[in-house]
Amino acid sequence: MGAEGPSACMLRFQPGAKVPRHAHTGYEHIIVLSGSQRDDRGEYEAGAILISPPGTDHAIVSDEGCIVLALYNAPVSFV
Instruction: Tell me the pLDDT tens digit for each residue of 66-79.
Output: 999 999 999 889 98
pTM for this prediction? 0.89
Q: What is the pLDDT of residues 28-73, one digit of tens each?
A: 999 999 999 999 999 999 999 999 999 999 999 999 999 999 999 9
d(CA 40, CA 29) in angstroms, rounded, equals 16
Domain ranges of the chain: 7-78
Alpha-carbon span 35 to 57, nearest angstrom: 22
CA distance 8 to 34: 17
The pLDDT confidence band at residue 4, using thresholds 50, 70 and 90, is: confident
Q: Does domain 7-78 have CATH number 2.60.120.10?
A: yes
The one-letter code for the residue type at 57 is D
Neighbours of 28 (CB within 10 A): 21
